[in-house]
Amino acid sequence: MWTLPISRNGIDKNTGAGDENHSLIELRSVVKNYKTAVGDFPALKSVDLHIQAGEFVGVIGKSGSGKSTLLNMITGIDRPTSGEVFVNKTAVHEMNENRMARWRGKNLGIVFQFFQLLPTISIIENIMLPMDFCRTYPMREREKRAMELLDMVELADHAYKLPTALSGGQQQRVAIARALANDPPIVIADEPTGNLDSKTADSVFQLFKGLVEQGKTIIVVTHDSGLAKRTQRTALIADGEIVNEYVAKAMPSLSPAQLLEASRIAKVQHFEPGSMIISEGMDANTFYIVSKGNVEVILPRKDQSDVIVVQLGPGKYFGEMEFFHDRRNKASIRASEYTPVEVLAIGYDQLNALLGKSEVMRDALKQAADRHEQENVQKRSET
């Protein structure tokens, strides 16, 4: 287990939680257009993104989808054409260049695909550079802290070697140690395993996981969906837009373009705690995906209170039985009595058109509908 030598970011190391009501990173309707010879190119299209303190988030998408532009918005390397970017309560989109560099050095640790270590100075000097620039530690403490960070990534024995004496995996671990030099609350890694073998890539992800457990917020940009699945959340970018993560969980067999289409057509609906969403026996015309809170599937019992069959949380869905079987609700579904609920609603006509483009997703949803139908019949026989 890698343990940070010092933590000063105000986040609970045990829970990885900060202020529950405050997004550490927030993008609001961010648009970024680049001017080209043939006109403006929209790299990001009205992107909204909220990341809480202590989260481990994977950002995936094809080349040219907008991943790097998204990172540039968060780090302040580039400015949005319109919209707002807040990082740790700072309005990044309003900062001038003079303030930006020092702010970035204290608040963000950035890990690059190609390490970006200075080749003519030692490993330990590379790690001390951010401290020298931001003056976050007294001069006499910097070498000691750099050595503690190298010890954390198990490279203390190489402290006074040049970067070229280390393997690619070792250099990437040094780059991570350097990113942590000023103890930033946020670490952003751009394709950090792109040039590493699978075993070394795994060790890097294990390091990130350990940092999250100690309270850091980690954002990893990768083209490897397998690695992205090891994060707590995944933000999929397609054509400059972020796919709704709950649509992606509910319908994983859709292509990125199809997921983006589903995200666009899904209508957000809100329900108060304990309120009914659908009632048994009523006509059904909508497929629902839970995006916030929990819903309860309930069945009636003769001369007794209704029984809660199952609870469905974010990323789970309902309404698929009625879509494939008969168009009447087979159970009542209500919001949990404890918290409000948000669902994404897709009409059956739109769902049918969407599934017409993906037989794999249609088959998967049909199998789920058949299975849930059998479970419904069994539960009724038991009540």
Token readout for 344 is 């994404």
Host H or E run for residue 369: helix 359-382
Burial class (CB in 10 A: 0-12, 13-18, 19+), 312: buried
The SS3 assignment for 339 reads: coil
Classify domain 260-382 by CATH number: 2.60.120.10
Contact residues for 226 (Cβ-Cβ < 8 A; gap 6+): none
The SS3 assignment for 312 reads: strand
Token readout for 208 is 């990130």
Tell me how long the chain is. 383
Q: What is the pTM of this model?
A: 0.80
Classify domain 23-242 by CATH number: 3.40.50.300
Q: Where are the domains of the chain?
A: 23-242, 260-382
Cα of 54 vs its chain's centroid, Å = 11
SS3 of 122-161: CHHHHHHHHHHHHCCCCHHHHHHHHHHHHHHCCCHHHCCC
Tell me the backbone φ, ψ of residue 235, rounded to 5 degrees.
-110, 115
Distance CA 58, CA 235 (A): 6
Is-contact 83 70, C-beta < 8 A? no
Distance CA 178, CA 199 (A): 22
Any idea which residue has 């960070």 for tokens? 149
Is-contact 321 330, C-beta < 8 A? yes
DSSP 243: P
Distance CA 280, CA 299 (A): 8
Per-residue pLDDT of the chain (383 residues; tens, 9 = 90+): 456 665 444 443 333 334 445 689 999 999 999 988 888 899 999 999 999 999 999 998 888 889 889 999 999 989 999 999 999 889 999 988 888 888 888 899 988 877 789 999 999 999 999 998 888 889 999 999 999 999 988 899 999 999 999 988 888 889 989 999 999 999 999 888 777 778 878 888 888 888 899 899 999 988 777 777 888 888 999 999 999 999 999 999 999 899 999 999 999 999 999 999 999 889 999 999 999 999 999 887 666 677 788 899 999 999 999 999 888 888 899 999 989 999 999 999 999 999 999 999 999 999 999 999 888 888 777 76
Strand partners, 287: 346
Contact residues for 353 (Cβ-Cβ < 8 A; gap 6+): none
Is-contact 221 191, C-beta < 8 A? yes
Distance CA 42, CA 44 (A): 6
Tell me the backbone φ, ψ of residue 358, rounded to 5 degrees.
-145, 95
The amino acid present at 10, given as its one-letter code, is G
Contact residues for 138 (Cβ-Cβ < 8 A; gap 6+): none
Contact residues for 21 (Cβ-Cβ < 8 A; gap 6+): none
DSSP 244: P
Q: What is the pLDDT of residue 168?
A: 86
Q: What is the pLDDT of residue 97?
A: 83
Q: Which residues of 21-34 are buried (b: 16+ CB within 10 A; e: fewer)?
A: eebbbbbbebebbe
The SS3 assignment for 295 reads: strand
Ordered DSSP codes for 33-97: EEEETTEEEEEEEEEEEEEETT-EEEEE--TTSSHHHHHHHHHTSS--SEEEEEETTEEGGG--H
